[in-house]
Amino acid sequence: MRRWMLAGMVFATMLLGTACAADQEPKPNGEMEATVKRVVDGDTFELSSGEKVRLIGVDTPETVKPNTPVQPYGKEASDYSKELLTGQKVTLKFDVGIKDKYDRLLAYVYMPDGSFVNEKLVREGYARIMTIPPNVAHADLFLEAEREAREQNRGLWALGDTNTSDETKQSAQPTEAPEGKLIKGNINSKGEKIYHVPGSANYERTKPEEWFATEEEAQAAGYRAPKR
């Protein structure tokens, strides 16, 4: 009898362990706890499990992208994320899409005290917004945070080439299309990133902040097609 009771307890423990493990699996609109092993750059980090996580809705200046020079304020953003996240146990909350094309988890990240890391990076001026559907749950919050950062000239918005009006900033951008890149990326006065393809209504009068070869490339950088 005792043997059967012991076997039952072991089986129940195994079921409980399996259920707990299942709760920690990433799934749409789910959440899980994890420990940050190291920070790759301002918006990407690696978990103790080895999986990499990309913060949803934000884009910090590049520091480690192949064939891309370190961008202005990239080191500051990377250092900030390293100090904030390295070794921390965080909560990852997922939206509709849980992975990107690089097989990185896409997550909203919360610190043990409840602070929202994605929003914090934008509001403190370490990141711009980068909204890519279908993960848009906090798009309005991020837009409001970026507006505040811009108005207060925080972080990257205090740099000489961003601490200007939209019109002045746009006129400073190269208007000649790089070879093979004809799609124009523009950030409007509301902070929205919009791309324009040749032949579209506003293409000729749009002053680009970035150029792209394909619509997919523009979308990956956080730009959307115009609504009309």
Residue 72 sits in a domain of what CATH number? 2.40.50.90
Q: Are residues 200 and 119 in the same domain?
A: no
Q: Are residues 103 and 183 in the same domain?
A: no
Maximum distance among all alpha carbons in the chain? 84
User: Region 4-23: what's the mean pLDDT?
Assistant: 50
Q: Are residues 72 and 119 in the same domain?
A: yes
What is the distance between the alpha carbons of residues 64 and 74, in angstroms, rounded to a whole number?
9
- The whole-chain average pLDDT of the chain stands at 83
148 catalytic per annotation: no
pLDDT value at residue 7: 52
pLDDT at 60 > cutoff 80: yes
pLDDT-derived band at 4, boundaries 50, 70, 90: low
Helix, strand or coil for residue 51? Answer: coil
Instruction: Give the residue with greater pLDDT, 57 vs 22.
Output: 57
Q: Are residues 186 and 104 in the same domain?
A: no
104 catalytic per annotation: yes
Q: Are residues 114 and 50 in the same domain?
A: yes
Q: Are residues 145 and 177 in the same domain?
A: no
pLDDT value at residue 5: 53
Which of these is catalytic: 31, 46, 62, 217?
62
Q: Are residues 40 and 148 in the same domain?
A: yes
In a domain, 9, yes or no: no
pLDDT value at residue 93: 98
Instruction: Give the residue with greater pLDDT, 33 vs 204.
Output: 33
pLDDT value at residue 2: 58
Phi, psi of 180 (to 5 degrees): 80, 0
Which of these is catalytic: 31, 51, 54, 215?
54
Which of 31-35, 69-73, 109-113, 169-173 shows the lowest mean pLDDT across its residues? Answer: 169-173
Q: How many domains does the chain have?
A: 2
Instruction: Give the residue with greater pLDDT, 20 vs 50.
Output: 50
What is the distance between the alpha carbons of residues 106 and 53, in angstroms, rounded to a whole number?
6
pTM recorded for the entire structure:
0.64
Q: Are residues 103 and 207 in the same domain?
A: no
123 catalytic per annotation: no
What is the distance between the alpha carbons of residues 222 and 195, in angstroms, rounded to a whole number?
9
Angle at 59 between CA 54 and CA 63, to 5 degrees: 85
Give the range of the structural domain holding residue 48, as residue numbers without chain letter.
Answer: 31-158
Tokens of 160: 């000489």
pLDDT value at residue 18: 44
163-217 pLDDT, tens digit each: 333 433 333 344 567 777 889 888 876 678 899 988 888 888 888 878 888 888 8
In a domain, 75, yes or no: yes
pLDDT at 80 > cutoff 90: yes
